Amino acid sequence: MNGKTTYRDSGVDIAKADSLIERLKGRIHKTFHPHVLSSIGGFAALTEIPKTYKDPVLVSSTDGVGTKLRVAFMTGVHDTVGIDLVAMSANDVLTTGAKPFFFLDYYAAGSIDEVVYPAVLNGICAGCEMAGCALIGGETAEMPSFYKEGEYELAGFIVGLIEKGNVIDGSAIERGDAVIGLASNGLHSNGYSLARKVLFDIQGLAVDSRVEGLETSVGTELLRPTRIYVKPVLEVVSNFPVRGMAHITGGGLPGNISRIIPDGLSASLDLPPGTVAPIFKVLKKLGNIPEDDMYSTFNMGVGFVLVVPDNISQEVVARLSSLGERAFIIGRIEMCDDARKVTVRSDDTF
């Protein structure tokens, strides 16, 4: 055997990865708040709990982007999936009333691309700024032969903070309460295996195809980033008695709202006209998807839900609207009269 074999010869270029991270440090530091005590590059990240909390509770969540990444690979657009990554975890901890505090990411690829990697990390930084949390660290793994060329995996981890006495868990929900929906930005980051099967496998469309009913190309529509509801919802939580909240992800409205409703109660939802976004109508038509599957797979135009006393529901909607949200009352809490905790109907034509 002639010559020497280095780690770089095996496909791992540590120097390149370190150089890219060094170039991105300034962008990452822009997400920091005064409670971050360490800088990028250490073995572990340090943060202090703000002294304003008397009885703090840590709220954590972890998630990925799912097969939405496949659309990013197909389009070559990588600056939005980082926002999705933050959104999926930030909106989850938000359901307890917690404020997102810090975030960590995991990025793994066969080789670190000097264009793709910074695009993804910039998206993660943008998502952290939208959620008001600091990107305090993460892991960048280069794994030759483990991933296909041009592909990568993402995972995110978040920790939020809330006073113990202020935790919202749905236990206070009562009969007669109003269910308020916040508009989604399309599919967000769920149901992509079904959406891709319909659009690409069954219909044979490309990411640059135009479809009747959509204002943009298929790829652009599918890459709309998940909305991050943190700032407007925390504003409402600090001013109104919110009894329960749900992030509408896999399982749709029935699967996620049922997670917060106490035993003996149910939610009857009637989505106002215009709630169901065009992409859902296109998918149902092109894939001949049963209505039950649509509601149990996709968010159907509602990305986040709040349950509040009925007598303040209109005021809450008005406050959310003033904060730039498209909010609407989508139902009421009732006594449970059958096995299903959540029923959904809509006047939108499919």
Amino acid symbol at 222: L
**Phi-psi sector, 337: left (phi>0), alpha (psi -120 to 50), beta:** alpha
**Residue 9 predicted with pLDDT over 80:** no
pLDDT for res 346: 85
Q: From the CB of residue 264, how many other CB atoms can be counted at a distance below 10 Å? A: 9
pLDDT the model gives residue 20: 85
Q: Distance between CA atoms of 238 and 331, rounded to whole angstroms?
A: 23
Provide the CATH topology of domain 8-166.
60s Ribosomal Protein L30; Chain: A; (3.30.1330)
Percent residues over pLDDT 90 in the chain? 87
Residues 196, 163: Cα–Cα separation, whole Å:
42
For residues 3-21, give the mean pLDDT.
Answer: 79
Other Cβ atoms less than 10 A from the Cβ of 104: the count is 19
> According to the CATH classification, is domain 178-346 in 3.90.650.10?
yes
Confidence of residue 50 (pLDDT cuts 50, 70, 90): very high
Average pLDDT over residues 186-195: 97
Rounded-to-integer distance, Cα 64 and Cα 84, Å: 8
Task: Determine the Cα–Cα distance for residues 104 and 98; give it in Å rounded to an integer.
Answer: 17
Q: Check residue 312 and report its DSSP letter.
A: G
User: How far apart are alpha carbons 105 and 247 in whole angstroms?
Assistant: 21
- Is the pLDDT reported for residue 339 higher than 70? no
How confident is the model over 98-142, as pLDDT tens digits? 999 999 999 999 999 999 999 999 999 999 999 999 999 999 999
Confidence band, pLDDT 50/70/90 cuts, at residue 340: low
* Distance from chain centroid for Cα 324: 18
Spans of all domains in the chain: 8-166, 178-346
pLDDT tier, 13 (very low <50, low <70, confident <90, very high otherwise)? confident
DSSP β-ladder status, 99-109 and 134-142: parallel
Q: CA angle at residue 61 from 225 to 166, to 5 degrees?
A: 105
User: Is residue 197 classed exposed, middle or buried when 0-12, 13-18 and 19+ CB atoms within 10 A define those classes?
Assistant: middle
pTM of the prediction?
Answer: 0.94
